[in-house]
Amino acid sequence: MSHITERIDFYVGRIKSGRIQEMWRQTKWIYTYARRYWLAMIFYTILGLGGTVVSLISSLVSKDLVDIITGHQAGELAKTFAMMIGIAVFSIFINQFTSYASSWISLKVNNEIRSDIFSKILITDWESLTNYHTGDLLTRWSSDASSISDGVLSYLPSLIINIFRFFSAFAMVIYYDASFAVFALIGIPFSLLMSKTLLTRMQNNNQRSAAMSAKMSGFNQETFSNIQTIKAFDLVRLYTERLKQLQSDYLKMRMEFSRMSIWTSIILSMVGLLVSYSSYGWGIYRVWSGAISYGTMTMFLSLSGTLTSSVNSLASMIPSAISLTTSAGRLMDILDMPQEDYSNLDTAKEFLENHRNEGVSLSIHQINYTYQTGTEVFKGASFEGHPHEIIGLVGPSGEGKTTMLRLLLSLLPSHGGEASIQSVNGEEIPLSPSTRQFFSYVPQGNTMLSGTIAENMRNVKPDATDEEIIEALKLACAYEFVEKCKDGIYTEIKERGGGFSEGQAQRLAIARALLRKSPILLLDEASSALDVATERKVLKNIMRDTYPRLCLVTTHRPTVLTLCNRVYAIRAEHCELLSNTEVDQLIKDF
């Protein structure tokens, strides 16, 4: 009685802790994917049920064959033996077909679900997403998404198939000899008991394993991305030791669970042997007493294994459910974050097409922004820019220049004020993720991707001709070194811009932005690796370009400011318009 009370208290505690409700919420989330693939699940279920029926028929044929042999019924032997061979051959083909169909469906569903989750991650609020390490995001998208796709496709069909296997085999045992059912079911309580013991440990292990995998993935990704820095500071030995420590921690965690699994397997195997030999003993007794035939005993032994394996499979589905909901929870952490609003995408596209030829203006009025950490960056900041203008943003590092560009791109949401794009005739559209199509952006650092120069260029304009690419390269003063390359614009760029200097990579990035022909060009310290002469030449080329472009430049190099129509200094959470005298003083003090 006390044991039952303890178990009731345990489950009540689980419910109060919210874990049961959380698992139910995660299960409902999984269902949103499962219902899309109900036809595939039905197909899986039919294949599984068909395999079970073939297995049961095979058991019956085996029974008849043994009875024919022991009864010396030579006339029936050939027909039954041929039937057994036919079933075996049929099983081979059906198993191979099932394997092929299952692989095709599984891969298809896996790709679709991962693609869906991938696209949802990409439109998740950028600032919220930065709270997660890239390696952690990669693990959640790859491992956890794969777990969801596998579970969506197989969990419910497996449940139905194993229940059908159990009851169909049990019905056959009852039909031929009810007494045998007692021995066939001996192992069930032990299987259920062991699955209950594994339940909590499996849940904890899954969470620890996922966290450790994410940590290792993040470590590896960050290491390989910064090999140059690691080598330069002679940190190879340190990072090798860190990897070994992570591997040691992971190994220790896995072996703890492995030892528990081994003891569980030993106990279940011993119970299985007990059931098998008890069935053998009882079968021999029933044969000797004349109650059943040799063939019936053979069938019972086969069905006993089917019953035990069905129960074990059903019991193992409890830890599988824990694993599945754990993966769902990790993905929901990401997907439940605020999503970017693209509801005005068509309106913004129409606005852009209507006013592309004359250009657009940018108006920022009394905008506010505070980081999630509570640090206030802007309070009532304002500035404006118009076609064919270069606007400069200056200020000390960390004062908000890059943050302002992120606000313009709606990577960060403003917390008050007005920010809009305006046409020459006074029409306007508020800034949002939908208005990113108005911008070309060249951030700090090397942003070139692996592939050819032309492929990098066509990422932003897929239909660009070679001539258009070359023209953009010339504007960015990049064609002077590209034409010297053996393959010209089809020269390969290695990962992170490898094969080109920082200055060359910056000019390629500027050329890519110019090729897009967006009305607003954002250059965030985008010419920091260029010499002053080249930097001024690039900006002059942009100014001479007939395309009605507004260019916004953040810079620490005041020499650029002489080319700007207006210069704003970010000070005390505001954008202050500088006079010509103040700009001259900045250049003088540099």
Domain ranges of the chain: 2-335, 345-589
Q: Which residues contact 373 (CB under 8 A, 6 or more apart)?
A: none
pLDDT of 58 reads: 80
User: Which residue is listed with tokens 């076609």?
Assistant: 387
At 357 the pLDDT is 87
Q: Any idea which of 317-331, 373-387, 442-456 has the lowest mean pLDDT?
A: 317-331
pTM above 0.85, yes or no: no
| Mean pLDDT of all residues belonging to the chain | 80
Q: Is residue 2 predicted with pLDDT exceeding 70?
A: no
**pLDDT tier, 346 (very low <50, low <70, confident <90, very high otherwise):** very high
pLDDT at 206: 64
pLDDT band at 397 (very low <50, low <70, confident <90, very high): confident
**Cβ-proximal residues to 273 (8 Å cutoff; 6+ apart), any chain:** none
Using the predicted structure, report yes or no on whether residue 127 has a pLDDT greater than 70: yes
Q: How far is CA 416 from CA 13, 118, 227, 298, 343, in A?
A: 45, 31, 42, 79, 20
CB 351 within 8 A of CB 536: no
* Confidence bin at 244 (pLDDT 50/70/90): confident
Q: Write the class of the CATH domain 2-335.
A: mainly alpha
CATH number of the domain at 345-589, out of 2.40.30.10, 3.40.50.300, 3.40.1190.20, 3.40.50.12170? 3.40.50.300
pLDDT at 4: 45
> Is the confidence at residue 120, as pLDDT, over 60?
yes
Q: Which candidate, 84, 39, 37, places its Cα nearest to that of 62?
A: 84
pLDDT attached to residue 15: 44
Do 80 and 68 touch, CB atoms closer than 8 A? yes
The C-alpha atoms of residue 522 and residue 553 are separated, in whole angstroms, by: 6
Round to whole Å and give the CA distance between 204 and 312: 21
- The pLDDT of residue 209 is 73
Provide the pLDDT for residue 104: 77
What is the chain's Cα-based Rg? Answer: 34
Report pLDDT for 268: 65
Question: In this prediction, what percent of the chain has a pLDDT beyond 90?
Answer: 15
Total Cβ atoms within 10 A of residue 312: 21
Comparing 173-177, 275-279, 538-542, 545-549, the range with the smallest average pLDDT is: 275-279
| pLDDT interval class at 198 (50, 70, 90) | low
Q: How far apart are CA 128 and CA 379, in angstroms?
A: 22
pLDDT (0 to 100) of residue 14: 46
Q: Above 80 in pLDDT, residue 157?
A: yes
Compute CA 117 distance to the chain's CA centroid, rounded to the nearest angstrom: 6
**Regarding predicted confidence, which is higher, 494 or 8?**
494
Report whether pLDDT(213) > 70. Answer: yes
Identify the bridge partners of residue 306 per DSSP, sorted by sequence position.
Answer: none
Contact 571, 395 (CB under 8 A): yes
Segment of 239-243, 474-478, 493-497 carrying the highest mean pLDDT: 474-478
CA distance 454 to 31: 43
Distance CA 559, CA 557 (A): 5
Residue 314: pLDDT band with limits 50, 70, 90? confident
CA angle 555/556/562 to nearest 5° reads 70
Per-residue model confidence as pLDDT tens digits over 274-308? 766 777 777 777 778 877 777 777 787 777 777 77
DSSP letters, 501-549, are -HHHHHHHHHHHHHHTT-SEEEEESTTTTS-HHHHHHHHHHHHHSSS--
Q: What's the pLDDT at 434?
A: 92
The pLDDT of residue 10 is 46
- Sorted by sequence, the CB contacts under 8 Å of residue 159 that are 6+ apart come out as 314, 317
- What is residue 571's three-state secondary structure? strand
- Per-range mean pLDDT, top range of 149-163, 250-264, 317-331, 352-366: 352-366
Q: Indicate the DSSP class of residue 438.
A: G
Structure tokens that stand for 19 in this block: 């874990």
Among the listed ranges 262-271, 550-559, 560-569, which one has the minimum average pLDDT value? 262-271
- The token duo for 325 is 């909901």
Residue 181 vs residue 194, higher pLDDT: 181
